[in-house]
A and B are shown apart, each in its own frame.
Chain A
Amino acid sequence: MVLDANWAVKWLTLCAQAMAEHRVELIELDRAIGDSDHGENMDRGFQAVLAKLGESTPETPGAALKMTAMTLMSKVGGAAGPLYGTAFLRAATALGDSAEIDASAWAGALAAARDGIVARGKAESGDKTMVDAWTPAVDAARAAADGGSTDVLGVLVAAAEAAEAGAVATDPMVARKGRASYLGERSAGHRDPGAASSALILRAAVGAAA
C-alpha cells in the first residue's frame, strides 16, 4: 500500500480525536511540569485543522500537512504551535507534490519534521522534550524502510512504537528545555507532555492506514 491524500485526511482527523480524548491527560502532565495548557492548546489546534478539512479537501498529502502547519501555528498559541507547525511544514516540503508516499519517502518526511523541531526549539535528545519521542521514531522508521520493508504500514507502526517508548523514557529525565527546565530536578518523575502528544500523533498515523 501507499499513503495518499485520503490517508492524510484520515490521519489528521484521528489526531483531532486523539487530542480531544487525551486532552485532560495532557493537561495533567503539563500541570505537573509546565503551565497546564498543552492539552487545551493541542485540542483547539486540531479542532481548527478539522474545521479547515471541512472547508476544502487537500489534493495531496503534502497540501494537507502544509495546511495543518499553518493552522497549528496560528491556533495553538503556546510553544507547541510553532514546534508542531514547523514539523508539519518541513514534512510537507519533503513530500512535495507527490500524490502517493512510499515507505522511504515517509521515513524521510519524519526526519525532516524532527529536524524542523530541533531547528526551532534547539532541543537535543535527553532534554525531556518532544525530540525524545521524535528521534527514536525517525530512527525506527528509517531502519524499517531500509530493512527492505516496502510495507509503509510497517514503517508507520515502527515509528509509533518507538515514539511511545521514547515518551515513556522521558519520565525520569530532568528537563533542560522549555518551561519544565525551570523546575530542575523536580521535573524528574513526570512524562513530558510534548513527547506524549507526539506519540499520539504518530499512533494516529497507524490508525489512518489500518
Chain B
Amino acid sequence: MTVSIVVVSHSAKIADGAVELAAQMAPDVVILPAGGTDDGRIGTSLEKVLAALEAASGQAAGAGAEGTVVLTDLGSAVMTAESALEFLENPEGVLLADAPLVEGLVAAAVAAQGGADVQAVRKAAEGVGIPAGQPAPAAGGTDHLESPTSAAPDFTGDFELVNQAGMHARPAAKVAGGLASLDAEVTINGVDGASMTGLMTLGAGKGTVLHVEAWGADAEKAVEYVGGLVEAGFGEP
C-alpha cells in the first residue's frame, strides 16, 4: 500500500474535484476528500476530517509505506486539520503539508503512487511552492545531503526526449514520483526533479536534451531511473 492523502477544503466541490484530478495521476493511492460542513455549507468540519483520516489510515493499512499527508486550503481549514490531530490517538503518521492545494495534492499523489514514504510525500507537496531552479527543502533529518548548488554532483547524465509530446504532465509525474522515493537530490535542467510542476515549467519538447545532476546515496539510481524513462519515451509514441 501507499501513503494515503486527505484533502480538507471549505468547499465539498473543491475537495471532490481536487481528489478526482489527482486520482487520475495516482490510481493506486487512497485520496479522500473532507470538504464543506456537515450540512453542506461552505466551511470545514472536524467530524468530516476525522472520518476521512480514520478511513485513510484504515484503507491504507497493510504492508509498505504508511501514513497520511493532509492538504488544506484557506486558514480555518488548516486550523481544523490541526485540531483533528489533537483528537487522534496516533497522530504520528499524519503530516500536514503547507502547500498550494491543487498543485501540492497532485505532486503528493504522484509521489505516493511512486512509493514514497510519508515524509517524502509531504516534501513533494511542499516542493511545488518553490521557484523553479531551487531544490525542494529536505525532509526532516536529511540535511546530510550536500547542497546541489555548492558541491559537484555525484552522478550526471544527458538524455534526449524521444517521445512526441515531450515532458508533459504524465511523464513529469512519473519522473517526479519515482525520484521522490529515492534518497537523492536531483535537478533536471536546473529544476527540482522531484517537483512535477517544476519539470513541467521546463517546457521540454521532443529533441530536448535533459541534463540530470544527482547528489546523495541513490544518485546513480536516480540518474538511471530518469534515463530509463526518457529513452523508453515514457512508454509513449
Contacts and interface: CB of A to CB of B under 8 A. Distances in A.
Interface of A: 41, 70, 73-79, 81-83, 85-86, 89, 120-121, 178
Interface stretch (B38-46, B137-145, B166-174): B38-46
Nearest to B75: A79
B37 A75 contact: yes
B37 A82 contact: no
Nearest to B48: A74
B28 to A, nearest CB: 31
A77 B79 contact: no
Contact of A77 (B44, B75, B83, B87): B44
B111 to A, nearest CB: 28
Contacts of A81: 43-44, 46, 76, 80
B86 interface: yes
Contacts of A70: 46-47, 87
Contacts of A76: 43
Contacts of A178: 75
A83 B79 contact: yes
A10 to B, nearest CB: 25
B82 interface: yes
A79 B83 CA distance: 12
Given A77-B37, A77-B44, A82-B79, 5 more contacts: A70-B87, A74-B37, A74-B46, A75-B45, A83-B79
Given A73-B80, A73-B83, A79-B75, A85 B46 contact: yes
Report the interface size class on chain B: 10 to 19
A83 B80 CA distance: 9
A151 B45 CA distance: 38
5 contacts: A76-B43, A77-B43, A79-B75, A82-B79, A120-B79
Contact of A120 (B41, B42, B48, B83): B83
Given A73-B46, A78-B43, A85-B46, A121 B38 contact: no
B47 to A, nearest CB: 4
Contacts of A79: 75-76, 79
B76 A89 contact: no
B46 A82 contact: yes
Contacts of B42: 77
Interface in B22-48: 37-38, 41-48
B135 to A, nearest CB: 28
Nearest to B86: A89
Which A-B residue pairs are the 9 nearest by beta carbons?
Answer: A77-B43, A73-B46, A82-B79, A79-B76, A74-B47, A82-B83, A77-B37, A74-B46, A82-B80
A70 B45 CA distance: 10
Contacts of A86: 79, 83, 86
Contacts of B37: 74-75, 77
Nearest to B74: A79
A89 B86 CA distance: 9
A96 to B, nearest CB: 16
Contacts of A89: 83, 86-87
Contacts of B44: 77, 81-82
A78 B76 contact: yes
Given A82-B46, A83-B79, A77 B41 contact: yes
A160 B116 CA distance: 52
Contacts of B75: 79, 178
Contacts of B79: 79, 82-83, 86, 120-121
Contacts of A120: 79, 82-83
A85 B43 CA distance: 14
A77 B36 CA distance: 8
Contacts of B80: 73, 81-82
Contacts of A83: 79
Contacts of B87: 70, 89
A89 B46 CA distance: 13
Nearest to A82: B79
B169 to A, nearest CB: 34
B74 to A, nearest CB: 9
B202 to A, nearest CB: 36
Nearest to A119: B82
